[in-house]
Structure 1
Amino acid sequence: MPQSAYLKPKTEDELSLDHIKSLLSYYMDITSKTGEQLSWSYSESAFPYTLIEQVDGDIWFYLKGKQSDYRMIIIGLVDSKLQIVLPDQSTHGDKAKANELCKFLANKLQADLTLFNGRTMYYAKK
């Protein structure tokens, strides 16, 4: 059964898939710089996915795993929330990486994050 996590920003101004893609690009950039400092290809371990865009719309996209430990994470917009979905074929590695990405995105968007286990983390400033 698929599992979902939700991010709900306080303002909907930053809630677009283009903005989410730019944040993921920023994440890939900072992890590659960390790898350069450590003389290690950390970016391949920190973001083992390829971003695949939907052809006929801009409601969702997915991250396809580059390694056998990682298969797929789907990211989309639903009812003014960002939804991160782990399909049935997702692995434990996908779930761990999705939790990490959810926390990163929630911090950058100042959003309330409902995790896959139903618990909520509040990153929005009060």
Structure 2
Amino acid sequence: MNKSAYIKLARQVSLDEVKEKLDHLIEDTSRTGEQLGWDYASAAFPYSVEEKTTSDGNHWLLLRGKESRLYKYLLIGIGSDTEGDAAAPPSIQVVVPDGATHGDHAKANEICRFLAKSFAAELHLFNGRIMYYNPRKP
């Protein structure tokens, strides 16, 4: 069964903005690896990012694992967590599909926390818990 986490945003974001944040994560981890003297970027972000489009025009990101034994894939899309609810805030959905490994699930949690912190958003994790990275008091 697919598992989803939602990053509830205060404003609408595009898939390109999410991709830029992921590129920023890859760049930061590669700089850390240079300082440490090893390939930290491939351990911290073991995915290649591919943009896909469905037949009905929906765009989403496929994170395909570089090491097939440890990491397979994750999916990232833009939308809202409740279908048909016009008042639902915009959100980023991160999906760990069937057939994903434990490593995929752990990396999905890390990526969710990174994106929620980057966008100052509210994170609804796979286990139903909520983490707040957004300012909650005016």
Matching residue's letter, 2:17:
H
**CA distances 1:75-110 after superposition (whole Å, capped 9, x unpaired):** 001222110000001100000000000000000000
Q: In structure 2, give the amino acid aligned to 1:96.
A: A
Aligned to 2:43: 45
Gaps of 5+ in 1: none
Deviations 1:48-97 (A, max 9, x none): 00111114545211100000200010000122211000000110000000
Alignment of 1:58-73 (within 5 A): 59-67=59-67, 68-73=69-74
Matches within 5 A, 1:1-40: 1-12=1-12, 15-40=13-38
d(CA) in 1 for partners of 2:15 and 2:7? 13
Supply the distance in 1 between the matched residues of 2:3 and 2:38 (Cα, whole angstroms).
Answer: 33
Separation (CA, whole Å) in 2 of partners of 1:99 and 1:114: 10
SS in 2 for 1:27: helix
Identity %: 48
Could you tell me how far apart the structure 2 residues matched to 1:59 and 1:122 are?
Answer: 27
Q: What letter matches 1:77 in structure 2?
A: I
1:118 to 99, 123, 128: 128
Q: Max radius of gyration: which structure?
A: 2
Corresponding residue of 2:75: 74
